[in-house]
Amino acid sequence: MCMAIPSRIVELAGEMATVEAFGELRSISLMLMNDEVALGDYVLVQAGGFAYDRVEHQVAQEALLILGRVIGLPQA
Amino acid sequence: MNLEAKIHIKLHWDGRRICRAELRPRPLVRATEVVRGKPAGQAAAVIPMLFSICGKAQGAAAAVALAFAQGGEPTHTAKWERLVLAEALQELLWRFLLDLPKVMGGQGNAALLASLRKSLAQAAAGQDEATWQTFAAQAETALSQAILAMPVADWRKLTDLEQLSEWLHRSDTETARNLLELWNGAGRWGDGGAVLMPSASRERILNEVLPGLESDENFAQRPHWQGRVMETGSLARMQTHPVLVQLLRQEGASILARFLARLFEMVELLDWLRKPAAKPHWVQGAALGQGIGLAWVQTARGLLLHRAELDGQGDVVDYRIVAPTEWNFHPAGSCVKALTGNPATSADEARRSAELLVQALDPCVAYTIEVEHA
C-alpha cells in the first residue's frame, strides 16, 4: 500500500533510465527528478513510471532489507 | 509477491455494453509486519521511508499516531499540516499537468510540474516563510496561466454551471480543452452509488470509522463507514461547493465532477498554504487509551488513517494503515458499479472508458484492465 520500492538505476539514457528492484527491471522517466542521478543511485518511482525522489544508499538498503524480510527473501 | 502490486479490473463486455465489472484490490503489505517490535521513534522514521507515496502525509500520520500512543501530544503539527497541504497541491497539479492529458491523448506539461516540484522541495527543506510564499506564488501562476487561463481570484467567483460552461468554451488551456470534452459527454457518467465521505470530524472518525478499523481484520483492504462503501477525495471534501452541488444533483458523482472538484480544491489549498489555519485540520489525531494512538490525515486522494499500538516498553505491537485508494477502489465501490452497464461499441471503447474512470478516482498504484468478450 502506497509503497514505492527503492529501485537502483542500472542504465541511463538522457531523461530515461532502467531501474531494478528485487530482480525486476523497468523503464522509467527522470523528467520530474529534482536531483541529478547516476548509475547505481536509488530512486522512488510513481505509478505512472516517473521517478520522483532519490534515496540515499543507506536508506534504500535499509528499506530493501525490511521489504525483503516481509516478502520472505533470504537475508544476508 | 509483488510489493507494488496493481489493482486489476476485469470488464465483461457483450458487444454493446460492459455487462459486468470486477475489481481485485491490490494485495497489501501489512504495516504491522514492517514495524512490529520497533521502538516508536524508529517506526516513525521507517513508515514514511517505506510508504513513500504521499510520503509527507504518511510521515505526519505516523508522527501523530505514535505521539498519542506514547501518551503525549504530537509536536510540530503546524509544520506537518503545511507539508501535507503542499504535497496535496502538488499531487492535484500532477493530475492536470500529466495524468488527465495522458488519458485524453494529449501532451501534458512535465516541465512545469518539474519546476513546481523543485520549488516545493526548497520550501519543504527550508521551512521558512519566504520559501513557502515563493512556492505558493509559483503554484498560483501555474494554476492561473497553464490551467485556468484566468486569475485565481476570478475563478473563485465561479458559482454556477452556466459560468462553468462559459469558462470551458472560452478558455484555451489543455486542462480546459480536456474538461470541455468531459463536459460534452465523455465525463458525464461515473456515479457508482457510493456515498461521498462526510467531513472527517473527530466525533465521526471515533464513533463511525474507528469501530470498523478495530474490529474488522479486513478493514485496511476493504474499508467501510459503518458498513457503507464510501468515496473519499476532492469531490467528497468539496461536495458543498455551489457548482458541484448543482452538478451532483444533475448527474451524481460523475467523472467531470471529480476533476472539477480538484480544480476548486487547489484554490483552497493555495489559500491555506499562504495563510495556514490557526488549528490544523488536515492533520489530526487522538489518544485511544493506554499505548494506542490514531491519526487521520487528508491527502489529495482522500482520507489516510494510521492506528498505532505500543507495549509497556514503547515498542510497536500493532500498526494499521488504511489508505484512500482502498476506499475508492473497493471491490463493491464506485469504480465497479459505475462501469457496470456502461455502453461500449468496442472492446477498446470499454477499456478507454474504464481508464478515464480510474484516472478520475486516482489510485496511488498502477492498474491493469482486462476486457473479456462475454
Give the burial class of A72: count Cβ atoms within 10 A of its Cβ; 0-12 exposed, 13-18 middle, 19 or more buried: exposed
Residue spans per domain, chain A: 7-70
Which cell is B3 given? 510489493
Written out in words, the top-level CATH class of the domain with range A7-70 is mainly beta
Which chain B residues contact residue A33 at CB under 8 A?
Answer: 114
φ and ψ at B23, to 5 degrees?
-125, 125
pTM above 0.90, yes or no: yes
Q: What is the DSSP letter of B322?
A: E
CB interface of A with B, residues 32-51, below 8 Å: 32-34, 44, 46-48, 50
B15: left (phi over 0), alpha (psi -120 to 50) or beta: left
Domains held by chain B: number: 1
One-letter amino acid at B112 equals L
Which chain A residues contact residue B4 at CB under 8 A?
Answer: 3-5
Q: How close A76 gets to chain B, by Cα (Å)?
A: 18
Helix, strand, coil percentages in chain A from 3-state DSSP, rounded to 5: 20, 40, 45
Three-state SS for B244-288 is: HHHHHHHHCCCHHHHHHHHHHHHHHHHHHHHCCCCCCCCEEEEEE
Shortest CA distance from A67: residue in chain B: B34
CB proximity A63 to B under 8 Å: yes
- Label residue B278 by pLDDT band (50, 70, 90): confident
* pLDDT tens digit sequence for A7-38: 999 999 999 999 999 899 999 999 999 889 99
CATH of the domain at B27: 1.10.645.10
d(CA B206, CA B209) in angstroms, rounded, equals 6
Would you call A31 and B3 a contact, using CB atoms and an 8 Å cutoff? no
Q: How close A3 gets to chain B, by Cα (Å)?
A: 4
Shortest CA distance from A58: residue in chain B: B49
Q: Both ends of chain A: CA-CA distance in Å?
A: 26
User: Which residues constitute the domain of residue B140?
Assistant: 7-373
Lowest mean pLDDT among A6-10, A34-38, B9-13, B126-130: B126-130
Shortest CA distance from A49: residue in chain B: B366
* pLDDT tens digit sequence for B302-314: 999 999 999 999 9
Q: Is residue B1 part of a domain?
A: no
d(CA B100, CA B359) in angstroms, rounded, equals 7
d(CA A51, CA B224) in angstroms, rounded, equals 32
- Label residue A73 by pLDDT band (50, 70, 90): low
Which chain B residues contact residue A1 at CB under 8 A?
Answer: 26, 28-29, 31, 51, 220, 321, 323, 325-326
Which cell is B308 given? 498505532
One-letter amino acid at B180 equals L
Which cell is A67 given? 521489504
